């Protein structure tokens, strides 16, 4: 199915894609990098006080949330009402319980794929697929809002399936697909965009995600079965960053990176180790792979015996506490991905919610995904108060 490069899906309350993921993983020859020294006395979560979670059926059974962002205590969710005939779906909440939908003509016909908070409000990216007649091309769309309610289209990028947006001191980076290859667009103001030359900037590799780090940028992608990472001071000039365990080994035909998660303790890149497979890639086995970096300049391979070895696992930023994984009915917290500790829950976790998006807004941890506790499945949300 054509469209933007999708991140993985983490699941709360049910087995994690047991029929697709593999349990036996012949990856011992990758080795695991040694963990960096961590300062003592860092932030942590003592427990999560989950609020009542449930489906949002009023937006239709085909609605889905693709991104969450937070600004000044407001959590904004971006997505679509229907992927086949999309209209941009923007939802707002202050407490994770009551959600309000923003209605604006500039959202019509757009599938929102990512949202980022800025000093001036929110910037979103998405695309308008050609639906009459259906085609394999789309028009990328960039929108902005000062408050999440009133939106303005800032730019359109013909032929681009935009999937990611990152904001930093020097402007914006948007990642997407053009002619089935991952590309990067750069802009100083989110209105005028330049597509970066893949050959000179990234050695011809396909880029899948980017993030702002300090005053610069990091990006990740893959090429010819090898994982790659890059850094840039300005979003336009890029340098390759060393990455442990980025090349295939016996039993693994390809190593790929799919997404970046940022936290106050560093960055984590998620990807897959893919064994040889002659069939449809959608049904081929995959193993989870992950890397940690303090600042994007050097990436260390993480152990995969725990939650990071599960293909389809999602990792979310937990601020200065590090990274959090929702694994079954448990929340697991880690400073850097080497060791994970369960966070006790004060109240029931959202056991029927497939969680594939989460954001931390102060002490409120908001999650979104697909609610499977009833038929048909519907958009679902939940939230928990974080206790230090």
Predicted confidence (pLDDT) per residue in 287-298, tens digit: 999 999 999 999
* Distance separating alpha carbons of residues 195 and 177, to the nearest angstrom: 11
- The residue ranking higher by pLDDT, 213 or 281, is 213
DSSP string, 78-118: EEES-SSS--EEEEEESSSS--EEE--GGGTT-EEEEEEEE
Distances (CA, A) of 301 to 213, 255, 269, 375: 20, 12, 9, 40
Instruction: Tell me how long the chain is.
Output: 388
Confidence at residue 43, expressed as pLDDT on a 0 to 100 scale? 84
Confidence at residue 2, expressed as pLDDT on a 0 to 100 scale? 32
Mean pLDDT for all residues in the chain: 88
- State pLDDT tens for residues 232-272: 999 999 999 999 999 999 999 999 999 999 999 999 999 99
pLDDT above 60 for 6: no
Q: Count of CB atoms within 10 A of residue 5's CB?
A: 19
pLDDT above 70 for 7: no
Q: Is 77 in contact with 88 (CB distance < 8 Å)?
A: no
In CATH terms, is domain 42-387 a member of 2.130.10.10? yes
* Distance separating alpha carbons of residues 351 and 265, to the nearest angstrom: 28
DSSP secondary structure code for residue 36 in this structure:
P
Beta strands 134-145; 121-131: pairing state:
antiparallel
What's the whole-number mean pLDDT along residues 215-225? 96
Bridge partners, residue 112, by sequence: 126
Confidence at residue 19, expressed as pLDDT on a 0 to 100 scale? 31
Distances (CA, A) of 53 to 133, 199, 264: 39, 46, 27
pLDDT band at 30 (very low <50, low <70, confident <90, very high): low
**Is the entire prediction scored with pTM above 0.75?**
yes
* Distance separating alpha carbons of residues 282 and 291, to the nearest angstrom: 23
Confidence at residue 16, expressed as pLDDT on a 0 to 100 scale? 31
- State pLDDT tens for residues 195-204: 999 989 999 9
């Amino acid at each position: 199915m054509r469209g933007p490069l999708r991140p993985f899906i983490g699941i709360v309350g049910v087995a994690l894609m047991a029929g697709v993921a593999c349990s036996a993983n012949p990856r011992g020859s990758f080795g695991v990098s040694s963990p960096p020294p961590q300062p003592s006395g860092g932030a942590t979560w003592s427990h999560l006080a989950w609020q009542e979670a449930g489906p949002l059926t009023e937006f239709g059974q085909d609605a889905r949330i693709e991104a969450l962002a937070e600004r000044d205590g407001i959590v904004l969710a971006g997505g679509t009402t229907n992927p086949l005939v999309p209209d941009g779906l923007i939802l707002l909440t202050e407490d994770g319980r009551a959600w309000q939908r923003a209605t604006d003509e500039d959202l019509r016909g757009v599938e929102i794929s990512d949202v980022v908070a800025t000093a001036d409000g929110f910037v979103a990216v998405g695309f308008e697929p050609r639906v009459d007649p259906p085609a394999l091309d789309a028009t990328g769309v960039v929108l902005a809002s000062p408050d999440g309610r009133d939106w303005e289209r800032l730019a359109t990028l013909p032929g681009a399936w935009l999937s990611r947006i990152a904001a930093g001191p020097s402007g914006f980076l948007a990642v997407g697909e053009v002619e089935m290859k991952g590309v990067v667009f750069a802009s100083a103001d989110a209105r005028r965009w330049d597509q970066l030359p893949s050959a000179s900037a990234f050695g011809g590799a396909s880029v899948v995600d980017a993030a702002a780090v300090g005053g610069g940028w990091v990006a990740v992608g893959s090429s010819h079965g090898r994982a790659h990472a890059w850094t840039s001071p300005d979003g336009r000039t890029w340098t390759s960053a060393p990455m442990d365990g980025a090349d295939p080994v016996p039993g693994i035909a390809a190593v790929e990176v799919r997404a970046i998660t940022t936290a106050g303790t560093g960055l984590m890149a998620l990807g897959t180790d893919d064994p040889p497979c002659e069939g449809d890639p959608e049904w081929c086995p995959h193993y989870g792979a992950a890397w940690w970096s303090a600042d994007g300049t050097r990436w260390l391979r993480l152990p995969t015996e725990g939650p990071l070895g599960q293909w389809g696992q999602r990792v979310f930023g937990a601020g200065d506490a590090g990274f959090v994984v929702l694994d079954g009915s448990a929340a697991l917290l880690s400073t850097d991905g080497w060791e994970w500790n369960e966070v006790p829950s004060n109240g029931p976790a959202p056991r029927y919610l497939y969680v594939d998006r989460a954001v931390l807004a102060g002490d409120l941890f908001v999650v979104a995904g697909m609610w499977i506790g009833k038929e048909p499945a519907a958009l679902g949300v939940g939230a928990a108060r974080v206790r230090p």
